[in-house]
Structure 1
Amino acid sequence: PGCDNAYVKYAIVHGDDWTHLDGPEDGISQITRKNSGDPEQKLVWNFPVEVTYKSTNAFGWPQLVLSVFEIDAFGRDVVRGYGCIHLPVAHGQFTRKVPLFKPLSATIVQQIASFFSGRPAEFSNPKFPAMGEGREVTRVQS
């Protein structure tokens, strides 16, 4: 909500025991626009994620990491949120809703600079939401 001209970059993160067999492990969606001026209208992306893995161990189950970006009035790509969800356990067609969150600036000075520049805080590694290390000290807003 509250954004338009948005697109998704995705990446798949998996444990060391998993082997990638087929399909792209990352990609980008089309740009979606709202049909009306309703700020509560949902943004919908219809893009397939067709990837195959094999493993002898369920540890490190593959996760789909999403980074949602909006193209602002100046043509800049501005991050609007991150999300992460485990891939389904069976093949087939699935519809998933992924809750999004975004990192908060660490200091008040960074928050003010972010406000005036129009560039919110973002993760330096887009796969960070799927990792456990370091997340306990990360401040986010959903």
Structure 2
Amino acid sequence: MAKDKKTFQDRLAEEIDEAISNMSDEEIRKEAEEAGDDIAAFGNRMRAWLETAKDEVAEIAIKEAKASAEKGRAVRNQNVVTMAPSKPRTRPDIFMPDTVAARHGKKLSARDRKGIEKDLEDLFDDDAWPDKKDGDE
């Protein structure tokens, strides 16, 4: 068995913790009353202490949040990079987009007409399509 490296105080504290943890509420109350402790007064002191602790924790959290926000602002202000405004690029007046959709319904160009006619010829050219269809073998 390995040598126990806990001190006497550590072992005593563990034994006391275990004894208290295993006791029922009634047993603890009875033992406190036998020792002459005022349970109600102790409970009131603990409630008051908890309220004070809650307020202190809230104040600390607010201070930390404010400090974090200030640090964020300082870092953000240092990291700002200004960019030179760019001039908008002008398109030549003679520019005409290649697709009908891009022209928003403007007239068809000769190039568009030729392209559409070629597509229609290919679509209705029976020699361009294979004789077998998907379901036929």
TM-score (norm 1): 0.12
Q: More helix per residue: 1 or 2? A: 2
- Whichever structure has more strand as a proportion of its residues is 1
- Bigger relative contact order (CA 8 A; separation at least 6): 1
Computing the radius of gyration from Cα coordinates, the structure with the larger value is: 2
Structure 2 length-normalised TM: 0.13
